[in-house]
Amino acid sequence: MTRDETIKFIENFDGPFAGTDEAGRGPLAGPVVAAAVILSREQERELLRFGLRDSKKMMGAQRETVFAAMESMGVVWCAQAASVERIAKTNILASSLWAMAKATEKLPLHADIVVVDGLYALPELNSLSFVRSLPLVKADSVIPAVSAASVVAKVLRDRVMDALDSVYPQYGFAKHKGYPTKQHREAVIKFGLSPVHRALFCRKLFISNF
């Protein structure tokens, strides 16, 4: 199917479906966090009125507002983190897909399909005949359930990085959430790597320092 055909198929799908997305593929530190969400049509409409969209296009306060609205509405969601150790053992793509699959599998409601933000289906789900994994690039911009998953993943990951900031305050995790900002790069050069840094990522960025 073309992208437009895929979007139309999802929009007209009569059965229950989930959306899944992740946050944290690009940082130098911290886990990848994935979420899976099932929305009713009524919840979709209400969350869109609250400003639901791709979490990358929202400010932190806006994401928290939408997340609070989801909680008050009783939206069904689950999340799964992929640790720094898992990322090092496999790779960032495999870890992200694993986390999205696990978040989807933990949903308390059945979903006939799961819409995955990105290029890749979830191979672990494809082995289950009752679940169809449907990848869609930039799904978080057009499918509300995926947008909601992106918000959940981003809110939860930001909270993890805020907590890690209290353990490793020298790196400024609360400010940059582990992304390779100038402040973060300078802190890594000055203090070296913490246990929550992705060593391979950092070594590629600072070839002369590690």
Query: Averaged over 101-116, what is the pLDDT?
Result: 93
Can you give the CATH number for the domain in which 40 is found?
3.30.420.10
Query: What is the reported pTM?
Result: 0.94
Question: What digits encode the pLDDT tens for the residues 65-94?
Answer: 999 999 999 999 999 999 999 999 999 999
132 inside domain: yes
Q: What's the structural domain count of the chain?
A: 1
154 inside domain: yes
209 inside domain: no
Question: What digits encode the pLDDT tens for the residues 132-142?
Answer: 899 999 999 99
201 inside domain: no
16 inside domain: yes
pLDDT of residue 106: 93
Distances (CA, A) of 97 to 22, 65, 158, 164, 201: 9, 27, 20, 24, 18
179 inside domain: no
Residue 100's domain spans which residues? 3-167
